[in-house]
Amino acid sequence: MKAILFVVFALIGWCPELQAASSIAIHNGFLTGEQYRNEGATDQIMYSIGLVDGMLVSPLFGAPDTGKAEKLGKCTEGMSGSQIVAILNKHLNDHPEEWNQPMHAIAFRTFRDVCKFND
């Protein structure tokens, strides 16, 4: 439960792409990609669920309504925590050059691509 709360608060400014377009500061978050990879399966599931939940409630923290949270919700609806972890782990396995980056930013980019936020 603590992991979920940490993730929710870390995602107040959840969209790294907005940083360049506004004065929103994107903080490093709690884990890098490599730290996430080294977590056990249960911790990865809890982190991933909290991360997605945090993104879904980002409008409550004043994130602009760009439709991305809605697309993420529709895209992930019905997914299990294990499925979300599998998606993130596939991305990390395919992109070891990103392991030193903040996990929340990696997850955003992953779901942006999977859920077609840019369409």
How do residues 17-26 score in pLDDT, each as one tens digit?
Answer: 444 445 667 7
Euclidean distance between CA atoms 115 and 88, whole angstroms? 13
Q: Is the dihedral of CA 76, 6, 68, 18 positive or negative?
A: negative
Whether 33 is covered by a domain: the verdict is yes
Structural contact between residues 50 and 8, judged by C-beta atoms closer than 8 angstroms: yes
Return the pLDDT at 59: 86
Q: How many domains does the chain have?
A: 1
pLDDT of residue 27: 80
- Could you read off the pLDDT of 95-112 as tens digits, one per residue? 999 999 999 999 999 999
Q: Is residue 119 part of a domain?
A: no
| pLDDT one-digit tens code per residue, 42-90 | 999 999 999 999 999 988 888 887 888 889 999 999 999 999 999 999 9
Asked if residue 12 is part of any domain, the answer here is yes
Range of the domain at 19: 2-114
* CA 66/CA 70 separation, integer angstroms: 9
